[in-house]
């Protein structure tokens, strides 16, 4: 055992300061120079920080933040335990910076099969700390000062600040809802791009478009026709496509997730982003990846090696084992990628019925594990405040968690500042929850309904 001999280093440092005549003034002096970089201006607020705190303080049922409250599959947990406690002690050390070799190899095999393309695991795949870091790498690698990036609304909220932090200019184009004529509940498929409006957003300054299909928060799965429209415009204007496909396996009602990189002219200009958190219901592991041509990924590697540099080895090993299993079982009933969407579709349908029964009109999602509901019929509970700077749905969601104990996220959080009040009568729920959690949410809604109808 090592033992210290004599006075400590701290003792000498303090003694030296005293003998040098350090005054109390020097210890209290404050910096006068601004410390915040300009690129952070206006992007300091984050919806998740605020609503996660509210949910932790008030809610009995949290259907707000998007993560499952059920465990990952047993085979994945077993793979992690084996990686942690097995004889291969090198799994506790650094692995290859751009992806653990077993993981990039199986990802290249798996996505090569899906894309019908030979992929080089060393150049066509890069592992990241979740899809979040993959997005950050894309914007930092591709976007220069003044470049325009088209973002389809509603959008996952980090797209806008990440574009701005890179010096880019977000250009927004909304999905516009069209009410179904037959009186049925609206579907996420009823929210569509206007082709002329989308085309008008492309210019000589457009560097990239961000595509999120299936879409968070709406659950929209873009059709082949919609993707071909986007692809044609990308090719015409020589624009990159950052394709956020983290919910690729979570599609319902026989819908098909089409990868835009598989369309004509798109492989060479597309970066696909994926997530083990969404794929295997393990959001806390923070393992993501990018797939694309080396001419694009080489620039992502530059950002990655000069920022995060490395992702947790044991988590990558376990995810690699998970994908090896899924490749063997691809398309079979035992596949987790087949079982999970079936289970989530049942949960979706259950929550749709619960919300519809109390007058919150749900928009039935084609994919993801999110569901948006119209709260227009509840304005008597939370009256509108004219000229308020805060969108109505934000005030409603705060009131609901504080007074009913049910947490959700306002849809306006997924729109740019200028458009927040255009769609401010919707809130988003997450249905990737245990049956007991969804039942507790239903109990809150039913009690709320009774309170509204009782004299």
Cα(136)–Cα(165) distance, integer angstroms: 9
Question: Where do the DSSP E strands lie in 154-277?
Answer: 169-174, 176-177, 191-192, 206-212, 240-244, 270-275
pLDDT digits 0-9 by tens, 384-438: 888 888 999 999 999 999 999 999 999 999 999 888 888 999 999 999 999 999 9
CATH 3.90.1150.10: which residues of the chain?
A: 45-71+335-453
Can you tell me the mean pLDDT for 40-61? 87
Q: Give residue-wise pLDDT tens across range 125-180.
A: 999 999 999 999 999 999 999 999 999 999 999 999 999 999 999 999 999 999 88
**pLDDT tens readout for residues 358-373:** 999 999 999 999 999 9
d(CA 89, CA 397): 48
What pTM, to 2 d.p., does this model score? 0.92
Residue 249: pLDDT band with limits 50, 70, 90: very high
Rounded CA gap, 139 and 299, in Å?
10
Cβ contact 131:273 at 8 Å: yes
pLDDT band at residue 2 using 50, 70 and 90 as cut-offs: very low
Place of tokens 């009186």: 183
- Range(s) of the chain covered by CATH 3.40.640.10: 74-329
Architecture of domain 45-71+335-453: Alpha-Beta Complex (3.90)
Q: What is the pLDDT of residue 48?
A: 83
Rounded to whole angstroms, the Cα distance separating 159 from 172 reads 11
Terminal Cα distance for the chain, rounded: 77
Apex CA 105: angle with CA 243 and CA 137, to 5°?
A: 35
Fold of 74-329: 3.40.640
What pLDDT was estimated at residue 47? 82
Whether the pLDDT of residue 21 is over 70: the answer is: no
Backbone φ, ψ for residue 131 (5° rounding) = -65, -25
């Amino acid at each position: 055992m090592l033992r210290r001999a004599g006075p400590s280093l701290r003792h000498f440092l303090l003694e030296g300061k005293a003998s040098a005549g350090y005054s109390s003034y020097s210890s209290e002096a404050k910096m006068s120079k601004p410390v915040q970089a300009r690129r952070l201006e206006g992007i300091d607020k984050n919806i998740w920080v605020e609503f996660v705190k509210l949910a932790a303080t008030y809610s009995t049922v949290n259907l707000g933040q998007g993560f499952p409250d059920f465990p990952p599959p047993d085979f994945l947990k077993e793979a992690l335990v084996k990686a942690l406690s097995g004889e291969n002690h090198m799994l506790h050390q650094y692995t290859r910076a751009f992806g653990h070799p077993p993981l990039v190899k199986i990802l290249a095999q798996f996505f090569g099969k899906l894309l019908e393309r030979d992929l080089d695991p060393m150049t066509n795949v890069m592992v990241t700390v979740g899809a979040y870091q993959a997005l950050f790498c894309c914007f930092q690698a591709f976007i220069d000062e003044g470049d325009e990036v088209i973002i389809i609304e509603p959008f996952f909220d980090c797209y806008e600040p990440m574009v701005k932090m890179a010096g880019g200019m977000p250009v927004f184009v909304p999905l516009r809802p069209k009410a179904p004529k037959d009186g049925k509940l609206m579907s996420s498929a009823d929210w569509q791009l206007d082709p002329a409006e989308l085309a008008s957003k492309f210019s000589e300054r457009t560097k990239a478009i961000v595509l999120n299909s299936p879409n968070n928060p709406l659950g929209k799965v873009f059709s082949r026709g919609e993707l071909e429209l986007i692809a044609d415009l990308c090719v015409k204007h020589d624009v990159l496509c950052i394709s956020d496909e983290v919910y690729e396996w979570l599609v319902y009602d026989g819908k098909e997730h089409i990868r835009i990189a598989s369309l004509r002219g798109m492989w060479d200009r597309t970066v696909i982003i994926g997530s083990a958190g969404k794929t295997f219901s393990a959001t806390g592991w923070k393992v993501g990846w990018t797939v694309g041509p080396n001419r694009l990924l080489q620039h992502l590697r530059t950002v990655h090696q000069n920022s995060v540099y490395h992702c947790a080895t044991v988590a990558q090993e376990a995810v690699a084992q998970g994908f090896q299993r899924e490749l063997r079982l691809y398309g079979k009933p035992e596949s987790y990628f087949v079982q999970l969407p079936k289970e989530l579709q049942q949960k979706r349908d259950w929550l749709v019925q619960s919300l519809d029964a109390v007058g919150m009109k749900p928009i039935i999602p084609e994919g993801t594990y999110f569901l948006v509901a119209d709260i227009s019929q509840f304005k008597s509970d939370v009256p509108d405040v004219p000229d308020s700077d805060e969108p109505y749905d934000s005030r409603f969601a705060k009131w609901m968690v504080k007074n009913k104990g049910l947490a959700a996220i306002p849809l306006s959080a997924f729109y740019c500042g200028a458009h927040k009040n255009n769609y401010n009568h919707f809130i988003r729920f997450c249905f990737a929850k245990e049956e007991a959690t969804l039942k507790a949410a239903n109990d809150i809604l039913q009690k709320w309904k009774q309170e509204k109808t009782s004299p």
